[in-house]
Amino acid sequence: MASLKHLPAVKGAKVLMVGAGGIGCELLKTLALSGFQDIHIIDMDTIEVSNLNRQFLFRQSHVGQSKAKVAREAVLKFRPHISITPYHANVKDSDFNVDFFKQFNVVLNGLDNLDARRHVNRLCLAADVPLIESGTTGFLGQQVTVHVKGRTECYECQPKPAPKTYPVCTITSTPSKFVHCIVWAKELLFAKLFGDKNQANDLNVRSSDGASSSKQAEDVFEHRKDEDIEQYGRRIYDHVFGYNIEVALSNEETWKNRNRPKPIYSSEFMPNDLSQQNGSMEKNGAANDISSVSAMASLGMKNPQDVWSLKENSRVFLEALKLFFLKREKEIGNLTFDKDDQLAVEFVTAAANIRAASFGIPLHSLFEAKGIAGNIVHAVATTNAIIAGLIVIEAIKVLQNDTKNYRMTYCLEHPTRKMLLMPVEPFEPNRSCYVCSETPLSLEINTHRAKLRDFVEKIVKATLGMSLPLIMHGSALLYEVGDDLDEEMVANYAANLDKVLSELPTPVTSGTMLTIEDLQQELSCQINIKHREEFDEEKEPDGMVLSGWTQAPSVVKDDKESIANAGSTSNEPPVEAEKNDEIEIPPEKKRKLSEVSEAVDPDLSSVDGDTRNPDKLQVLDDDDELMIFDNWDSVTNKKIRMQ
Amino acid sequence: MDIIQILSSSRVFLAPPSLPIVLRLGMDGEELTEQETALYDRQIRVWGAGAQRRLSKAHILVCGITGTIAEFCKNIVLAGVGSLTLVDDRAVTKEALSANFLIPSDENACAGKTLTELCRDSLKDFNPMVRVSVEKGDLSSFGAEFYSKFDVVVVSCCSFTTKKLINEKCRKLSKRVAFYTVDCRDSCGEIFVDLQHHKYSKQKQEETIECELHYPSFEESISVPWKALPRKFSKLYFAMRVIERFEEAEQRKPGELSIADLPAVVKLKKELCEAQSLNESHIPNVLLERLVTDTREFPPVCPIIGGILGQEVIKAISGKGDPLKNFFFFDAMDGKGIIEDVSGKT
């Protein structure tokens, strides 16, 4: 490990870094200092102000520029003679195919989302290039892991937690936590008012309940011709915070064991003639620049950490709605919530707070609401630096082919067994992993009722994470995606999507073995179909059950449908870690932790590799004591949170 | 009533955003500016606005610029401390360059500037809100007056005697100054912490608990008989003490060792082990060999030690979360980052 010994391996290595963000900046710097001379770096993002506190290669003047390119320039200042090749692109682009990956000796991930991580994992397996993964995917905090095909587990051998979802009725009718109000404001109200009108929206359903007929309810959200924008805003306000609550209250059953919400009408807080009262547009006057349109600015409110009163929230709500219609009318109908969109954050904060007030839930500041709505992951420079150092140490071992010493290292929040950095031996590949092994999966599905479309959406895309799938039944092609298909084929596949499985040109019935491939990821897996007539609507809401590979621990849903608090700019599972949401670790998670330090000590290097017991988790605490744990929980004595 | 909601430590990764982080500002009514809130958004979500404000008023002194210290400086400048003062009169050498990303390779840019001046210029660039300055002179000659200007003092690559001296100067001041030493050799690193009497708060379940820790000085710590230490104690602790004694006895500057010194170092180890009734096997010769042969820092270890040190200093300033007490060791060979408490108590 002495710096000179590994120099040849490092000097001749060609490495690929995916991600030039928090970990990426630290990693690129550390690679350059450690003597790496040929580094390629992919990142599709541009630099934002909130990056500057930790992505230290970037300056205020770089805001808006490519992260990969600016990072390269910054590192060349202190290591001018090395080669850094930046790509301002999405790693999922077809340019970055298996052949592209094959040119590298090792791939290092500094990514922030599950989707890209899965993609890179598959390409590394296909290209047979070792991958070093990092991030908050561990159950004990940050971690660094080595994935080498056939030798250690791949990134997907252990299922990843599914995004946190909430039952629809909790969101639409019985919120009990602030996050429920945020999800309502963001996924329902914001989407209804400013998003795609054709999208199904549960707000619809609710507002058509009760006294009003569905026709009238539909109309509520339409901005009527010639209607004054102030009046429109107040009408929406009174409808969602007043009328809808009244309707909900009329259902006595719901409130038997719950606190009854309070309807809120805009007239309680502001006189009917509010155009004088509310913000002055002049303050936004110069702002033809959309990003600077702000209700807070026009109302003279400055501190995003203040918790606004109900009246202030009401004013922000109306002002933000007005500004959308007056300043950003063109975008209406196409907007999706974005945590970097100030006006959207203001609207969602205000709407969530008014709803929270109605339901007796404590109000929150814009700063906090933004964190919840945007699923903002907390980040500081120090942790990224530590993680980057650990990645480079593992990368050097991989390049030296020092397989015995590969480690997975946890960077812990609280010391465990006196350790802040806890190395464990990497786990073996999971033999039932559909990504890195060839074991077929098994799918229970109603072949007479489920359409090919359901199968493609719920299984192939959502569960298996394929982006360009091809489905074969024997030699017959049932479905494929690609640019080079002729019209006739496209029409054929489109027709197939709407057919139930048993009525496809080549019928899929019980006992059928389907082959699913993703040509870009070079991933292929087989699914054995088993017909099943009935499914439990609550426990198996998809109407299909995939097995043979451990499914991620998903959140119990008590409703047929559910709404996710989806991040707008990443596909990372939303961070939702309330006290009650601990994940039950599936029994498969009991794995081994074996210790290490003595492997370098010739006398003890014979610590038996065969002592592996997959049912136990072992920590070789020190020279001579083998500690065995049955469960991760007992290692830290700490509840595991979803993230 | 000002409420400062405390997150359990600055090392929170999984802290839920749904946890009500109540961000109220201090009694003096000072608020973070809009610019600060935007820049520090992600970290305020980790440690809160109150801690951010305390950071912005803290003054840090670092003595001895190494790769690890460069990492540490980057971390606390990004975090937004009030000021950072650098002391190191050495010239820019090839060795100084090896693990230090703060020194541009452009010779024209370096012309006529000292090591500290070059680092200062780079650090200023990282965060214009932090004052970074250079102080010239010999560390051990600075009086108490000088040290009283700081809240945190971090020393690196200086002798055993200097460490003790500065630590004592800090402890004699009427104000409390947090004192740290940090050393990296080969792929090993050591951090020593003296927070004297440190009061802090931490979050346990729903409650905020007030805690207090008492720290021994550097001299008190290393005077603890080896025999009194737990049976399974970090080997690195003993090895570092042997090297320290050797450099002291031979009047060498830190790091001025080579493989030729190994026999003498091993001999000293034997003597010390005998005097302390410690089994020699607790200090493997292979470990000593590594520490004397490659005294340069191993670049990937710098961000690890510099990162841990950064977190600790942030914890000490903010008074939030359990600080480490009072030694930290990392060895890339086994990958373990271990905390050891050497307080002389059983």
Count chain A–chain B contacts defined by CB atoms under 8 A.
Answer: 253
Q: Dump the DSSP string for B239-260.
A: HHHHHHHHHHHTTPPTT---GG
Per residue in A445-488, pLDDT (tens digit) is 999 999 999 999 888 888 888 888 999 998 889 999 887 888 88
The single residue listed with the structure tokens 């999507």 is A497
The conformation of residue A167, written as its DSSP 8-state character, comes to E
- Residue A254 pLDDT: 83
Q: Indicate whether A630 pLDDT > 50.
A: no
Parallel, antiparallel or unpaired: strands A83-87 and A106-109? unpaired
What structural domains and CATH numbers belong to chain A? 7-161+378-432 (3.40.50.720), 176-360 (1.10.10.520), 441-548 (3.10.290.20)
Per residue in A306-335, pLDDT (tens digit) is 999 999 999 999 999 999 999 998 888 888
Residues of chain B positioned with their CB less than 8 A from the CB of A35: 299
H helix or E strand, kind and range, residue A202: helix A202-207
Q: How far is A365 from chain B (nearest CA, A)?
A: 8
Catalytically active residues of A are: 169
The answer to whether A376 faces chain B, any CB pair under 8 Å, is yes
- Angle among Cα A553, A559, A564 to the nearest 5 degrees reads 60
A546 vs A159: CA distance, rounded Å:
13
> Chain-wide mean pLDDT for chain B?
86
CB within 8 Å: B337 and A407: no
H helix or E strand, kind and range, residue A146: strand A141-147
Question: Nearest to residue B310, comparing CAs of B158, B137, B92, B84?
Answer: B84
Residues of chain B positioned with their CB less than 8 A from the CB of A600: 333-334
B17, closest residue in chain A (CA to CA) = A372
Query: Is the Cβ–Cβ distance between B201 and B247 less than 8 Å?
Result: no
H helix or E strand, kind and range, residue A465: none
CB within 8 Å: B105 and A79: yes
- Angle among Cα B133, B313, A21 to the nearest 5 degrees reads 85
The answer to whether A386 faces chain B, any CB pair under 8 Å, is yes
Q: Which of B7, B11, B315, B317 to mutate to test the interface with A (most CBs of A within 10 A)?
A: B11
- Residue B30 pLDDT: 61
Residues of chain A positioned with their CB less than 8 A from the CB of B15: 378, 577
> Chain-wide mean pLDDT for chain A?
78
B81, closest residue in chain A (CA to CA) = A53
CB within 8 Å: B339 and A418: yes
Nearest CB to B37: which of A54, A304, A420?
A: A304
Per residue in A38-63, pLDDT (tens digit) is 999 999 999 988 788 788 999 989 99
Nearest CB to B13: which of A75, A136, A385?
A: A136
Query: Is the Cβ–Cβ distance between A318 and A311 less than 8 Å?
Result: no
Q: Domain map of chain B by residue range?
A: 220-293
Per residue in A486-518, pLDDT (tens digit) is 888 889 999 999 999 999 999 999 888 899 998
A599, closest residue in chain B (CA to CA) = B334
A3, closest residue in chain B (CA to CA) = B298
B61 vs B87: CA distance, rounded Å:
8
- Residue A549 pLDDT: 62
Nearest CB to B14: which of A302, A419, A641?
A: A641
Residues of chain B positioned with their CB less than 8 A from the CB of A576: 16-18
Distances, alpha carbon B277 to alpha carbons A619, B225, B272, B280, B340, in Å: 30, 9, 8, 9, 20
B204, closest residue in chain A (CA to CA) = A638
Q: How far is A179 from chain B (nearest CA, A)?
A: 7
CB within 8 Å: B296 and A380: no
Per residue in A357-374, pLDDT (tens digit) is 999 999 999 988 988 888
Confidence of residue A79 (pLDDT cuts 50, 70, 90): very high
CB within 8 Å: B16 and A414: no
Q: What is the sign of the dihedral through the CA atoms of A564, A569, A573 and A574?
A: negative
Query: Is the Cβ–Cβ distance between A499 and A451 less than 8 Å?
Result: yes
B78 vs A25: CA distance, rounded Å:
13
Query: Is the Cβ–Cβ distance between A427 and A591 less than 8 Å?
Result: yes
B322 vs B320: CA distance, rounded Å:
7
The answer to whether A415 faces chain B, any CB pair under 8 Å, is yes
Distances, alpha carbon B146 to alpha carbons B49, B59, B232, in Å: 30, 12, 40
Give the rounded percent of residues in chain A with a pLDDT score beyond 90.
Answer: 41
Q: How far is B116 from chain A (nearest CA, A)?
A: 16
Q: Indicate whether A384 pLDDT > 60.
A: yes
Q: Indicate whether A618 pLDDT > 50.
A: no
CB within 8 Å: A419 and B338: yes
Q: Indicate whether A282 pLDDT > 80.
A: no
The answer to whether A597 faces chain B, any CB pair under 8 Å, is yes
Tokens of A36: 């790496």
Residues of chain B positioned with their CB less than 8 A from the CB of A305: 23-25, 32, 37, 49
Q: Indicate whether A639 pLDDT > 70.
A: no
H helix or E strand, kind and range, residue A498: none
- Residue A64 pLDDT: 93
Nearest CB to B17: which of A33, A372, A409?
A: A372
- Residue A377 pLDDT: 61
CB within 8 Å: B39 and A34: no
- Residue A5 pLDDT: 55
- Angle among Cα A51, A55, A60 to the nearest 5 degrees reads 60
From A94-103, A599-608, B45-54, the region with the lowest mean pLDDT: A599-608
Q: How far is B119 from chain A (nearest CA, A)?
A: 12
Helix, strand, coil shares, percent, chain B, to 5: 40, 20, 40
Query: Is the Cβ–Cβ distance between B80 and B55 less than 8 Å?
Result: yes
- Residue A169 pLDDT: 81
A307 vs B54: CA distance, rounded Å:
22
What is the SS3 assignment for B215? Answer: coil
B40 vs B33: CA distance, rounded Å:
10
A598, closest residue in chain B (CA to CA) = B334
Residues of chain B positioned with their CB less than 8 A from the CB of A622: 232
Nearest CB to A576: which of B12, B16, B75?
A: B16
Q: How far is B345 from chain A (nearest CA, A)?
A: 17
CB within 8 Å: B42 and A53: yes
Residue bearing the bigger pLDDT, A7 or B167? B167
- Residue A411 pLDDT: 87
Confidence of residue A302 (pLDDT cuts 50, 70, 90): confident
A48 vs A291: CA distance, rounded Å:
13
Q: What is the mean predicted confidence (pLDDT) over A631-639?
A: 32
Q: Indicate whether A195 pLDDT > 50.
A: yes
The answer to whether A300 faces chain B, any CB pair under 8 Å, is no
Q: Which of B304, B309, B331 to mutate to test the interface with A (most CBs of A within 10 A)?
A: B304
CB within 8 Å: B338 and A420: yes
The answer to whether A82 faces chain B, any CB pair under 8 Å, is no
- Residue A272 pLDDT: 60
Residues of chain A positioned with their CB less than 8 A from the CB of B307: 381-383, 385-386, 389
Give the rounded percent of residues in chain A with a pLDDT score beyond 70.
Answer: 75
